[in-house]
Amino acid sequence: MDTFIYGIDFGTSNSAVTIWNATTRTLIRDPRIAGVDATLLYFPHTTKRVAPVIGNAAKLSYVEDEMRGRFFQAIKTILPFSSFTETVVNNQTYLIEDLIALFLRNLKIRADAVTGQDVKRVVMGRPAVFSTDPAEDQLAEERLHRAAVTSGFTEIHFQYEPIAAAFAYESRITKPERVLVGDFGGGTSDFTVVQLDPARQGLTDRMADILATGGLPIAGNKYDAATMWHKVTPLFGRGATYDSWGKQIEVPDSLYRTICQWDQIVFLRNAKKMDLLWRLTGLSNDPPAFERFQALITENQGFALFQVIEAAKIELTSKITAPLKFTHPRIPIDLRLTRSEFNQNSADLTAAITGYLDTFLADSNITPASIETVFLTGGTSLLPQLRQEFITRFGPEKIRDGQEFTSVADGLALSAPLFFPDLHR
């Protein structure tokens, strides 16, 4: 009987599972696990305990239910925060690892249907840094480990996601290459410099081939937040003033920092904040803006609005302008976002990523000239302004890409021989 190991890329925005057949030393391709699934959980509103809707279907159910239940997105970004321990959904308490386990178990069930086995071995991906705080970084990995155990795995190993992406790229080359891998997801941007060689693929000791690894917690979600801040928040009153004892005072920015993360908007739904918005509707120089702000909160429209923002970002990877059109009757938005606007609004994010890259290479004593290939993966790698920074530093002839959403899961499965060498004796 064949022996299988799973590679699971639990991502901020999307997740994927790939199967390694340790007996035949091959990846298993099957339509039942092809592609990625959105990292989403939706619990319908009910007084009973019900199973959540998982993945891409969660988004559809959430919208169809008029956004009345509990919807979880970007759960991965919460892993480092010790302040978040549990939440109550439909009178049931869930730890953060319980929520993640629901998603991992779904991936495992789908893969088990392909292998016909209850597979217990897995290589889990993790970013180069969950957090720059070592204690928080360790906490995040421990929580992800517990989630994997809860989902049914007993032999669990972690591999850095950019290293996994490197191994996925290695399966495509025919000669040795020194490669810089840039893995850009929703929550983190990670880098690895690795010496790849197709002749060494599948060996159990590759540590000497990994020359440097690092990363920072800036990626796709921050680009969405930048669009919200610069382009959309003025429609909710940012920059407006209100009358206070005969003086015109600008509305505090703190309200708008909160709505730049859609999953934080719910925390404005309390009596104190709603009373403030109600008063600003009457006292400000832009009452309609605060009516829209109230509707954003009371009608739970944050997720739907950010879907529009993300869609515009994606469209701008291939076009120079994109619509920002939101048709909710109390929050009508009809704008256009140009690529130049988007680039300008997110220039600080791109500068932070490339600044980190330059320091990362310098600290590792690696020159751009010594890099033979630059492999870019992850959805955020498709942003033209970010890609141009790599072209400027390394030259267009060195840039490689492809399989932006599944390369990490493939590489995790290809990493199996490193962690389970007993299967290859």
Torsion angle of the four alpha carbons 32, 411, 130, 87, in this order, in degrees rounded to the nearest 10: 20
Could you read off the pLDDT of 56-95 as tens digits, one per residue? 899 888 878 877 788 888 889 899 999 888 888 888 899 9
DSSP character for 68? -
Here the tokens at position 99 are 């929520």
Sign of the C-alpha dihedral computed for residues 63, 321, 388 and 178 taken in this order: positive
Distance CA 318, CA 335 (A): 18
pLDDT at 102 (0 to 100): 95
Give me the residue spans of the domains in the chain.
Answer: 4-174+403-424
pLDDT at 255 (0 to 100): 87
Residue 369, C-beta contacts closer than 8 angstroms, at least 6 positions apart? none
pLDDT at 47 (0 to 100): 67
> Which is the CATH superfamily of the domain at 4-174+403-424?
ATPase, nucleotide binding domain (3.30.420.40)
pLDDT at 67 (0 to 100): 72
pLDDT at 3 (0 to 100): 94
Nearest to 67 by CA among 258, 305, 292: 305
Distance CA 198, CA 364 (A): 24
Q: Phi and psi at residue 354, in whole multiples of 5°?
A: -70, -30
Q: Strands 70-73 and 121-126, how do they pair? A: unpaired
Partnered with residue 375 across adjacent β-strands are 181, 400
Here the tokens at position 306 are 């950010």
Residue 166, C-beta contacts closer than 8 angstroms, at least 6 positions apart? 179, 181, 192, 194, 196, 375, 411
Q: Would you give per-residue pLDDT tens digits along the chain (425 residues)?
A: 899 999 999 998 889 999 999 999 999 999 999 888 889 999 998 767 778 999 989 988 887 887 778 888 888 989 999 988 888 888 889 999 999 999 999 999 999 999 999 999 999 999 888 888 999 999 999 999 999 999 999 999 999 888 888 888 888 889 999 999 998 988 889 998 999 998 887 666 677 888 998 999 899 999 999 999 999 999 999 999 998 888 899 998 988 999 998 878 878 888 999 999 999 999 999 999 999 999 999 988 888 899 999 999 999 999 999 999 999 999 999 999 999 999 999 999 999 999 999 999 999 999 999 999 999 988 899 999 999 999 999 999 999 987 666 888 999 999 998 888 776 54
Could you read off the pLDDT of 370-420 as tens digits, one per residue? 999 999 988 899 999 999 999 999 999 999 987 666 888 999 999 998 888
Q: Which residues of 100-131 are buried (b: 16+ CB within 10 A; e: fewer)?
A: bbbbbbbbbeebbebbeeebebbbbbbbbbbb
pLDDT at 203 (0 to 100): 67
Helices 56-64/302-315 angle, 10° precision = 130
Nearest to 253 by CA among 240, 267, 238: 238
Q: Rounded to 5 degrees, what angle do the CA atoms 150, 154, 157 make?
A: 100
Could you read off the pLDDT of 301-324 as tens digits, one per residue? 888 899 999 999 999 999 999 999
